[in-house]
Chain A
Amino acid sequence: MIVCVKQVPDPEAPPASFQVDAASGRMVIAPSVNPVISPFDEQAVEAALRLKDAHGGKITVLSLGKDAVPHVIKKPLAMGADELILLQDDALEGGDSWSTAFALAHAIKKIGQYDLIFCGRQAADWDAGQVGSGIAELLGVPSVTLARKVEVSDGKAVVERVVPDGYEVVEVSLPALITVSNELGEPRYPTLRGIMATKKIEPIVWTAADLGVEASQCGVAGRRTRLLKLFKPVKEGRCQLIQADSPAEAGEKLALKLREAKLL
Chain B
Amino acid sequence: MSDYKGVLVLAEVAQGKLAPIALELLGAGHGLAQQLGEQCSAALLGNGVTALAQEAIAYGADRVYVVDDPLLQDYQSDLYLAAMDKIITEASPQIVLLGQTSIGRDLAPRLAFRRQTGLSMDCVELSIDPETRLLLQTRPVYGGNARATFVSESRPQMATVRAKAMTPLERDASRQGEVVAVAAGLSPSMIRAKVVHRVKEEVEGIKLEDAQVIVGGGRGVGGPEAFKQLEELARILGGAVGASRPPCDSNWVPASLQIGLTGKVVTPELYIAIGISGASQHMAGCSGARNIVAINKNPEANIFNEASYGVVGDFRQVLPAFIAKVRELVGK
Contact = CB atoms under 8 A, between A and B. Distances in A.
Interface of A: 11-12, 14-15, 18, 20, 27, 96-98, 101, 121-122, 124-134, 136-138, 142-146, 148, 161-173, 176, 181-183, 185-186, 223-233, 235, 237-242, 244, 246-252, 254-259, 261, 263-264
Interface stretch (B36-44, B46-54, B60-68, B106-114): B106-114
Contact of A235 (B108, B306, B329): B306
Contacts of A181: 262
B96 to A, nearest CB: 13
B247 to A, nearest CB: 12
B270 interface: yes
Contacts of B95: none
Interface string B300-329: 001011111111111001111111111001
Given A126-B142, A144-B193, A226-B150, A248 B200 contact: no
Nearest to B163: A164
Given A166-B198, A239-B305, 10 more contacts: A130-B108, A146-B102, A166-B202, A168-B198, A170-B195, A229-B149, A231-B147, A233-B144, A241-B310, A264-B330
A171 B193 contact: yes
A225 to B, nearest CB: 4
B267 interface: no
A101 B202 contact: no
- Majority secondary structure of chain B interface residues (helix, strand, loop or mixed): mixed
B318 A250 contact: yes
Interface size classification for chain B: 35 or more
Given A238-B308, A257-B309, A170 B193 contact: yes
B256 A145 contact: no
A228 B151 contact: yes
A251 B311 CA distance: 8
Contacts of B330: 264
Contacts of A11: 142-143, 281
A235 B108 CA distance: 31
Contact of B200 (A15, A162, A166): A166
A252 B319 CA distance: 9
B94 interface: no
A165 B101 CA distance: 12
Given A171-B193, A229-B149, A230-B148, A101 B136 contact: no
Contacts, number: 268
A224 B319 contact: no
A14 to B, nearest CB: 7
Nearest to A132: B109
B329 A137 contact: no
A145 B105 contact: yes
B256 A230 contact: no
B290 to A, nearest CB: 9
Nearest to A233: B147
Interface stretch (B2-10, B119-127, B176-184): B119-127
10 contacts: A126-B141, A127-B142, A133-B109, A142-B77, A143-B106, A169-B195, A173-B193, A224-B116, A254-B309, A258-B293
A162 to B, nearest CB: 7
Interface string B256-270: 100001101000011
A261 B329 CA distance: 13
Nearest to A256: B325
A126 B302 CA distance: 21
B153 A255 contact: no
Contacts of B226: none
A182 B321 contact: no
